[in-house]
Structure 1
Amino acid sequence: MNARRIAQVVLGIFLGAAACGNSWAQKAEGLANTPQMGWNSWNKFACNIDEHLIRETADAMVKTGLKDAGYQYVNIDDCWQGQRDADGNIQPDPKRFPSGMKALADYVHAKGLKLGIYSDAGATTCDGRPGSRGHEYQDARTYARWGIDYVKYDWCNTPDMNAKAAYTTMRDAIAQSGRPMLFSMCEWGMSKPWEWAGQVAHSWRTTPDIYNCFDCEFSPGLSTGLGVLRILDRQAGLRKFAGPGHWNDMDMLEVGNGMSEDEDRAQLSIWAMMASPLILGNDLRSMSESTRRILTNPGVIAVDQDRLGVEALRVLADGPLEIYAKPLDGGQWALMFLNRSTQAIDVHHDWKAQVLTDDLSKRSVDFKQTVYRWSDLWTKKTGDTSTTLQARLAPHSVLMLLLTGPAKS
């Protein structure tokens, strides 16, 4: 058979498979029905990682109650890679991970947790380690043999590459690996992934990397880091693209990394209201009790994990005060009052002045007709919507309410 005939046969096989729908070419179903929860090594440790850190983090996730609160993924970011062997198989750095990834996965699994790993669509990662370009199927099979449960896939060193094609290739590679793995795209929103990635990944980053501040932007060289409020502002118009199994990812949490407690509570609240994955970025082994309490707040986590899977909408912007509403399963609502400023502000919210309406979920509440009970998810105070809400918001803080009802009609 000549070369031309071989090419025709190969093309025919490819087109035939495409016409049949390529049943294997899909992301794993049943993962991330609610936004994924876990921990990632990058924010706190960058390249200073090894197997001892990962084991100790898994231990801490169990000991501190984070596992019981819903966090389950222990994710290794960049710099775990060594070299490829003679057959092209990726190997972990022998000095940092001398026991190998399979042993590490077994350890994490024995804790009732899951192990995640990192790669890049380019030939090299952001830190210059071997990426997966040209080795996608090989790497996915390797991850499956190791027992990996989560793949974060970055976008460094990808000149002239098409994001949709590159991420679809890795999706298909994972699908053929024989092991379901949550697929997390880290493409920084450059190609508007919310418009096409719903069938490709379980989550996709919507912005550049987070920077450890509440309201700032940091641009060293070619990279950009955004503070909490800058990331929130870039979510405008994206809520219609997210839902169970496909989430807008606002990047990792900086809770416990140096912001104030009010700012830490605000970030977790914002991420929960926006149904973003909750991926911790602090040192779980040495966090303070106040940080632990913030990260394990059951009411705030429940808002993030609500099975309806609808992102919040902004219903009011009045200077530094913004109000966000999130419809929840069972007819409930979550409301967040956000103080964007560095000065305290007073809230006087007349529930009856505005009908709460969400066209996306087709939900509406007229507080003139229906009274809801509310509970503050941080202070545990309670009340109802029959009287004006009075509160004082500290700088860079939130008031987060769960509305249940009706209390009376």
Structure 2
Amino acid sequence: MSQLSTLISLVILSGLRYSVCGLDNGLALTPPMGWLSWERFGCETDCVAHPDTCISERLYTDMADVLIRDGYKDVGYEYVNIDDCWSARGRDEKTGEILSDPQRFPHGIKWLADYMHSRGLKLGLYADIGTYTCGGYPGLEGHFEQDINTFAEWGIDSLKVDGCYADASVNHAENDDVLVKEIAPACNLWRNYGDIEDSWASVEDITNFWARNTSTDILVRAAGPGHWNDPDMILVGNNGLSLSEQQSQFSLWAILAAPLYMTADLRAMPPWAREILQNKEVIAVNQDPLGKQAHVAWSENGIRIWIRELTSNVTSGDTWAVLLQNSNAIFGLKAVVLRPAQHIP
């Protein structure tokens, strides 16, 4: 019997033949918030040349400490997510168990999970459904149930699953059984487009995809408490976007009910970046318990109006978040109360 029920969420990234959907497991009732290492730190494993930025135990404890010290945890950021390149190159020769890199994670992943839990945080981990991860480390193929049990024993709170080196043309009976019986009931969010890069062109590309698909309600119908579309990480605090572009991305992700996973180096965040990321009004829109995702209500000549239904205000009436997007500019994210005579498409 797998212990996957102890894990909080599973993220399916790539377009695999496997079909899994978020079920009502009582988890992720609002979009998860936290920090993810991939876009900023990638697969840097040389801790001699890059001790401050390599994928290591120290990197994740540092980020956890900053989440608490600088007020991120207080506004809802609670996940510290390890991405690719954390494991050893090979498995245990006798047991086949997956192992963390002993030099970069000297205390092991269970110790790191305990470190997070003792501070009121949660630890996320990365795996791959194929034979190898995208970075060339051991994948889940042939070890599905063993690895899931290992992750649960370590105390992992969420699991991100990638799709590199997966042969979708072959019928893997073991994979199907585990996916249907063990993984699907724990699937709470999914990526549905390419990886984000630290540029406005990348943000705009993702936004355009979402605009096309929210207009047909494909993505809107898929989102709600316990099941979220994920447009990828928040770039605020990185180097590729201007100040206004960073504000724009954060507002867009908020109204889209997207998971809010930061990826910048929190140890070196300027005050203005913290102000964007800790904006309580914008976060409140993202975390609204009704769980409705925004859609494009009107679009013409590069201008879009996004609207999102929010939890009704008993005293005032229906409440909606409204965002005006003009090419690469966002003119504010506001919550408005509609009177009965008003109409939203």
CA–CA separation in structure 2 for the residues paired with 1:204 and 1:106: 26
Over 3 Å counting, the alpha-carbon distance change for 1:227 and 1:51 in structure 2 is farther
Q: Report deviation, 1:243.
A: 0.9
CA–CA separation in structure 1 for the residues paired with 2:85 and 2:195: 17
TM-score w.r.t. the length of structure 1 is 0.68
The amino acid of 2:210's aligned partner reads L
The 5 Å alignment of 1:215-364 reads 215-216=201-202, 227-233=205-211, 235-236=213-214, 237=216, 238-258=219-239, 259-330=241-312, 331-341=318-328
The 5 Å alignment of 1:209-220 reads 209-216=195-202
SS in 1 for 2:268: coil
CA–CA separation in structure 2 for the residues paired with 1:256 and 1:329: 30
Question: Equivalent of 1:73, from 79, 91, 99?
Answer: 79
Total equivalences in the alignment: 300
Give the superposed CA RMSD. Answer: 2.6
Question: In structure 2, what is the equivalent of residue 366 of structure 1?
Answer: none
The amino acid of 2:295's aligned partner reads L
Bigger relative contact order, structure 1 or 2 (CA pairs below 8 A, ≥6 apart): 2
* Structure ranking higher in strand proportion: 1
The 5 Å alignment of 1:53-64 reads 53-64=59-70
Q: Deviations over 1:30-72 (max 9, x none)?
A: 2111111111110110112100000000001111111111111
Q: Is the CA contact (8 Å cut-off) linking 2:24 and 2:226 kept in structure 1?
A: no
Q: Report deviation, 1:281.
A: 1.1
2:114 aligned with 1:127, yes or no? no
Question: In structure 1, what is the equivalent of residue 99 of structure 2?
Answer: 91
Q: Report deviation, 1:408.
A: 11
- Using the TM superposition, name which of 228-237 and 159-168 deviates more: 159-168
- Which sections of structure 2, spanning at least 5 residues, go unmatched? 1-20, 45-54, 313-317
Structure whose CA Rg is larger: 1
Q: Report deviation, 1:308.
A: 0.8
Q: Deviations over 1:70-108 (max 9, x none)?
A: 111100000001121121110001111011111111111
CA–CA separation in structure 2 for the residues paired with 1:64 and 1:168: 44
SS in 2 for 1:65: coil
Over 3 Å counting, the alpha-carbon distance change for 1:164 and 1:316 in structure 2 is farther
CA–CA separation in structure 1 for the residues paired with 2:201 and 2:259: 20
Question: Equivalent of 1:113, from 110, 115, 121?
Answer: 121
Q: Is the CA contact (8 Å cut-off) linking 1:306 and 1:329 kept in structure 2?
A: yes
SS in 2 for 1:111: coil
CA–CA separation in structure 1 for the residues paired with 2:168 and 2:264: 35
Q: State the identity as a percent.
A: 42
TM-score w.r.t. the length of structure 2 is 0.80
CA–CA separation in structure 1 for the residues paired with 2:276 and 2:164: 33
Over 3 Å counting, the alpha-carbon distance change for 1:311 and 1:163 in structure 2 is farther
Over 3 Å counting, the alpha-carbon distance change for 1:278 and 1:234 in structure 2 is farther
The amino acid of 1:36's aligned partner reads P
- Which sections of structure 1, spanning at least 5 residues, go unmatched? 1-24, 175-196, 218-225, 342-395
2:178 aligned with 1:169, yes or no? yes
Q: Report deviation, 1:232.
A: 3.4
